[in-house]
Amino acid sequence: MVASLLTGEERDIVPGARHVACTVEMADTNRIINVAVVDEAQMLADPDRGAAWAAAVMGVPAHEVVVFGAPDCLPLVRRIAELCDEPVKVVRLERKNPLHVAGDAVGLSAITDADAVVAFSRRDIFILREQLMTRERRVAVIYGNLGPEVRRAESRRFREGEAPVLVATDAIGMGLNLPIRRVVFSTLMKWDGRQERSLTPAEVRQIGGRAGRFGQHEAGIVAVMAGGGDPARLRQLMATAPATPDDRRPLVSPDRDIVAAVAEELGTASLSETLRRIRRAVLRPGDPNYRLADLAVQINVATVMDGGRPVAAGPLGLCPVPCGHATRALLGCCAGASSTRPAPRSRL
């Protein structure tokens, strides 16, 4: 099967291809098609990207929409179907080989071939990499902000045995199929951008489920590193059944057309002002059907990027990015270069 590829980082259009693989943010909601497949639908509940999944499931103009996801997604998918007045057929798929939780914690010296050690920050990834390399392990590294070419190269190194140990973030939980035998959590805690918290059962199942690729390993093993948590706690997280979410309303976020229409109504060219107005007035907090996604990051980036250009041609596509100090400085330079304003001076 020949397919084109569209992501926020890559655009590979194959002449004659009748299929397109894309991230949900790049889904075409204007072209009528026969079948659309939306994967990783448990992300509907994600506070940062859930609105993009909802827009894809609800907005793609396909005669049939096939939704794949962990069992956690089913209540939200059912709710979306109710809102769209569409029938739902549920097909449950079973794992083809067993997945075991290790009873003992794993020391760093016990990390071996086909192991994937999972950490939740780049700092921890490179610390673990160095520690393993001092033990003469050859290590591949994968994390979310790697460029696509580097990510593919590191995946290949692990897959072909050039680097038989993998150190990665939870980025391996989606979109990567790798011959992992054992997933070892370096910790059962993570910083989620808001607080330091325990991993959720859904996160542990999603990442741990990458262990034991069918056809390459007879079984998968999930473990925690010594000092990173209690194996009994890991077993409990893996065994916890999916819970029905407290709020089944799908998250929604304004697209470019909505932003342009609101800006025209307000008579403003300011993207940040438009997004603030949408957050304040477009969707009531008590709406029975939908929840407005948190627009704080988009508003922060739009504030930096506002340069007096018309909103319809503005930087909406650049808004869903982390807004740390370095990002603000870089965006400030871009804004200065693309407008009549002088670029702000900043020390990185």
Tell me: the pLDDT tens digits for 33-74?
999 999 999 999 998 899 999 999 999 999 999 999 999 999
Tell me: the pLDDT tens digits for 205-216?
999 999 998 989
For 99-238, CATH gives 3.40.50.300
99-238 and 3-84 share a CATH fold: yes
What pLDDT is stored for residue 341 in this prediction?
46
What are the residue boundaries of the structural domains of the chain, listed by start? Answer: 3-84, 99-238, 253-337
Amino acid letter for position 266? L
CA angle, residues 184, 185, 186, in degrees to nearest 5: 110
Tell me: the pLDDT tens digits for 245-298?
889 999 999 988 889 999 999 999 899 999 999 999 888 878 999 999 999 888
What pLDDT is stored for residue 193 in this prediction?
80
- 123 CB-near residues (< 8 Å, 6+ apart): none
What pLDDT is stored for residue 336 in this prediction?
53
pLDDT band at 343 (very low <50, low <70, confident <90, very high): very low
More confident residue, 23 or 335: 23
pTM above 0.85, yes or no: no
CA 328 to chain centroid: 22
State the CATH class of domain 3-84: alpha beta
Mean pLDDT of the 305-333 span: 52
Residue 118, number of CB atoms within 10 A of its CB? 30
Tell me: the pLDDT tens digits for 158-180?
999 999 999 999 989 887 889 99
Q: In the 3-class helix/strand/coil scheme, how is 98-136 assigned residue by residue? A: CEEECCCCECHHHCCCCEEEECCCHHHHHHHHHHHHCCC
pLDDT band at 8 (very low <50, low <70, confident <90, very high): confident
DSSP state of 317: G
